[in-house]
Amino acid sequence: MNDKEHNTRAPQSKAPSRAIVHVDMDAFYASIEMLENPALRGQPVIVGGTAEKRGVVAAASYEVRQYGVHSAMSSYRAQQLCPHAVFIPPRMGDYVKYSKKIFAILREYTPLVEPLSIDEAFLDVTGSRKLFGPATEIGRTVKRRIKEEVGLTASVGVAPNKFLAKLASDLEKPDGFVVIKPGQAESRLAPLPVSKLWGVGKVTQRQLAGQGVQTIQDLLDMPVHRLEGIVGSYAARLRRLARGIDDRPVVVGESSKSIGAETTFAEDIADPERLRGVADALAVRVARRLRKEGYRAHVVHLKARYADFTTVTRATTIPIATASTQELVETARELLETRLDRRGRALRLLGVSASGLVRPAEGEPELFPDTEREQNERVDHLLDTLQERFGAGSIWRGVQKRTEDGA
């Protein structure tokens, strides 16, 4: 192509910026209870187990939150903070019915819906604007329809990416609606506390505060090498978030699903050998479910809850998706022993889950697999078949028997 031909080509149009909506229901379980029983409105409502049975707060109405009660807190502590709180046992079946109504509304505006839980989701409405108008209009319409058709309030955030949209939905809860436009990110983020950034938990927040970092602007002003000394290789990602940069797409379908198993101990456990055995057993269960449902996973998560109900999660990505028992056990162990930083503290709950799910390629495995990974997966499938036929205790790998006894 000569210069003349090149110069006469029409300039390419710039791709439109993404438009993401984050919908987060307000005190979902508690709001449903108050909707169905108007006598509860205005009262401090807690959905969860009772204090006598080591219960946990699953949801707290805004009336009870002013006493310091929040989800994942022990019911015993919640009752201490608010003795006159009304405790209601969860009714998950009913909550799921409401969730289905809400998600049906969301999917009328875009097929790109990523559920984060039964009461929260991201919507990519970039391609929906020609049909339904600007993203802000879509967000307001969704919010209004949920209120009119379901009877519940939602907080909605609209922004050019997932991080900013989720942040926006949280700024004016409950019943909030916040828009962060392209170009506004850094100015909106700068005065906010650094805890608003994903990945900055209580421990990291304290470490940053010790270095004089209180706000997101303080973090951006901090020399990179000092930030790396606190958060390691996550420093680059944290600085990008602090500038409002987040390139992750909305994930639809199987990739947003996860498969997991967890257990709450009758008594808190500090012994590392016992915890390792429980983690191994949970990983075995997750691997079996992956194979049974025909998935492999790219990401393994470890969830741990301490005696004070502080809950932390750690995750690692596996480059080649797997459903191998051995790989999941080894990965869960690594997260427990090298990434959790437990420092001898006892745990009351431990969980293992897998996400980033994909279907393996069609076709039967080779008769003589030529890699160790394929050999392990073939053995796993054989063990699954034998255990299904003759019982779970009929045959096992050496590590599997030991870990199941430990659980």
Segment 44-52 mean pLDDT? 82
Does residue 405 have a pLDDT over 50? no
User: Are residues 232 and 275 located together in one domain of the fold?
Assistant: no
Q: Does 399 fall in a domain?
A: yes
Question: Which residues, other chains included, contact 102 with Cβ-Cβ below 8 Å and sequence gap of 6+?
Answer: 23, 25, 119, 146, 150, 152, 154
Q: Does 299 fall in a domain?
A: yes
Q: pLDDT tens, 54-75?
A: 677 888 999 999 999 987 788 8
User: Are residues 149 and 192 located together in one domain of the fold?
Assistant: no
Q: pLDDT tens, 270-291?
A: 999 999 999 999 999 999 999 8
Mean pLDDT of the residues in the chain = 84
User: Are residues 264 and 339 located together in one domain of the fold?
Assistant: yes
User: Are residues 151 and 299 located together in one domain of the fold?
Assistant: no
Q: Does 1 fall in a domain?
A: no
Does residue 198 have a pLDDT over 70? yes
Q: Does 6 fall in a domain?
A: no
Give the single-character DSSP code of 138.
Answer: H
Catalytic residue among 63, 120, 327, 377: 120
Q: Which of 135, 157, 182 is the last residue of a domain?
A: 182
- The larger pLDDT score, comparing residue 258 to residue 358, is at 258
Task: Provide the residue range defining the domain that includes 320.
Answer: 257-406
Segment 103-116 mean pLDDT? 93
User: Are residues 339 and 375 located together in one domain of the fold?
Assistant: yes
Catalytic-residue membership of 374: no
Q: Does 7 fall in a domain?
A: no
The pair of structure tokens assigned to 4 is: 């003349």
User: Are residues 136 and 157 located together in one domain of the fold?
Assistant: yes
Segment 3-25 mean pLDDT? 64
Angle 398-406/272-293 helices, nearest 10 degrees? Answer: 120
pTM of the model: 0.65
User: Are residues 106 and 157 located together in one domain of the fold?
Assistant: yes
Q: Which of 182, 216, 231 is the last residue of a domain?
A: 182
What's residue 9's pLDDT?
Answer: 45
User: Are residues 169 and 49 located together in one domain of the fold?
Assistant: yes
User: Are residues 176 and 229 located together in one domain of the fold?
Assistant: no
Q: Does 10 fall in a domain?
A: no
Q: Does 78 fall in a domain?
A: yes
Question: Number of folded domains in the chain?
Answer: 3
Q: Does 130 fall in a domain?
A: yes
CA distance 24 to 20: 13
Q: Which of 242, 267, 282 is the last residue of a domain?
A: 242
Does residue 134 have a pLDDT over 50? yes
What CATH number did the domain enclosing 290 receive?
Answer: 3.30.1490.100
Does residue 264 have a pLDDT over 50? yes
What CATH number did the domain enclosing 99 receive?
Answer: 3.30.70.270
- The larger pLDDT score, comparing residue 323 to residue 124, is at 124
What's residue 258's pLDDT?
Answer: 85
